[in-house]
């Protein structure tokens, strides 16, 4: 019974991973850089947003925000419940790039990693409301449920030591050897 369950779960996991990878491919061409095929974000906006998200959750031994599908998550929500934030994103990303050009002479995504950290830190002070919005959406995409396009393959949950897929409750709670299915 147990191996069978694991098999079923793996299939589901593969499905989620494939789904996430598929939509990521559609949106950003299998890279962290966008090609403009997203539902809302243009290629340039996706690149800038990706640079901000990857400062909020950078890569270490575990994936960064964009590597875990956060851009897919945010892009998808911006034409769904977060439609109301479209203008905030459009203006905020434009400002982030303009500031980066003024300060470091290049688009945010083209700066060196230390410059990006500096630029995002300054952004968080200059536009706290926009930054707070991106911060919370990034965390939602990174730590939330994989069903919304982020947290690809539930990598953040595994990072936190949460078994994924979770052991079914029935394994922890003996139902008195009910019907074996």
Partner 1 sequence: MKRVNAVVVGAGAAGGIVAKELSVAGLSVILLERGKWYTAYDCRKDDLRNQRTTVLGNAFGPEDKGNPRVWVDAQGGLHTVLPSEGPYQNDAACVGGGTFSYGAQAWRYMPQDFKMRSTYGAPEGSSLEDWPISYDDLEPFYDKAEYEIGISGDYSGTPFKGPRKRPLPMPPLPAGKEFGILEPAARRLGLHPFHIPMARNSVPYNGRGPCMRCRWCCGFACEVDAKNGSQNTVIPIALNTGNCELRTECMVKEILTDDRGRAKGVSYFDERGHLQEQLADIVIVSGCATESARLLLNSKSKLFPNGLGNRYDQVGRNLQGHQYTGALGFFDFDTYDDVGPGADIAICDYNHGTPGLRGGGMLANEFIRLPIMSIDHLPSGTPTWGLGHKKAMRDWHRRTIVIIGPTQQIPSAEARVTLDPLVKDKWGLPVVRIQGNCHPHTYEIGDIQAERAQKWLLEAGAIDTRLLSQAQNAEKVSHGADANKGLPHKSHSELIPASQHQAGTCRMGNDPQGSVVNKFCQVHDVDNVFVIDSSVHVTNGGFNPALTIMAVAFYASNALVHNWKGTGFRS
Interface ranges with partner 1 (CB under 8 A): 55-58, 60, 62, 77, 80-82, 85, 88, 117, 124, 129, 132-133, 135-140, 143-145, 147-148, 156-157, 159-163, 166-170, 172-173, 175
For residue 33, the minimal CB distance to partner 1 (Å) is 21
134 φψ region: left (φ > 0), alpha (ψ -120 to 50), beta (else): alpha
Of 29 and 51, the one with the shorter C-beta distance to partner 1 is: 51
Contact assessment for residue 85 and residue 91, using Cβ atoms and an 8 Å cutoff: no
Of 105 and 167, the one with the shorter C-beta distance to partner 1 is: 167
Of 4 and 129, the one with the shorter C-beta distance to partner 1 is: 129
For residue 106, the minimal CB distance to partner 1 (Å) is 21
Backbone angles phi, psi at 114, to 5 degrees: -60, -35
Name the packing angle between helices 113-126 and 128-143 (round to 10°): 120
Smallest CA-to-CA distance from 165 within 8, 3, 5, 9 is with: 9
- In this structure, what DSSP letter does residue 112 have? -
Peptide bond preceding 60 in cis form (omega within 30 of 0): no
Name the packing angle between helices 128-143 and 43-56 (round to 10°): 80
Of 35 and 88, the one with the shorter C-beta distance to partner 1 is: 88
For residue 139, the minimal CB distance to partner 1 (Å) is 5
For residue 156, the minimal CB distance to partner 1 (Å) is 6
For residue 145, the minimal CB distance to partner 1 (Å) is 4
Of 126 and 136, the one with the shorter C-beta distance to partner 1 is: 136
């Amino acid at each position: 019974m147990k191996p069978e369950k694991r098999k079923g779960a793996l299939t589901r996991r593969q499905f989620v991973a494939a789904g996430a990878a598929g939509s990521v491919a559609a949106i950003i061409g299998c890279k962290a850089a966008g090609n403009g095929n997203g539902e809302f974000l243009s290629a340039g906006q996706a690149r800038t947003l990706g640079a901000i998200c990857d400062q909020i959750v950078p890569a270490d031994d575990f994936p960064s925000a964009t590597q875990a599908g956060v851009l897919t998550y945010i892009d998808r929500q911006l034409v769904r419940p977060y439609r109301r934030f479209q203008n905030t994103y459009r203006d905020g990303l434009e400002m982030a790039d303009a500031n980066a050009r003024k300060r470091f002479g290049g688009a945010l995504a083209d700066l060196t990693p230390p410059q990006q950290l500096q630029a995002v830190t300054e952004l968080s002070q200059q536009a706290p409301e926009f930054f707070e919005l991106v911060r919370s959406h990034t965390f939602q995409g990174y730590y939330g449920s994989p069903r919304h396009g982020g947290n690809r393959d539930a990598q953040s949950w595994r990072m936190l030591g949460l078994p994924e897929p979770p052991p079914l409750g029935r394994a922890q709670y003996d139902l008195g050897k009910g019907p074996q299915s």
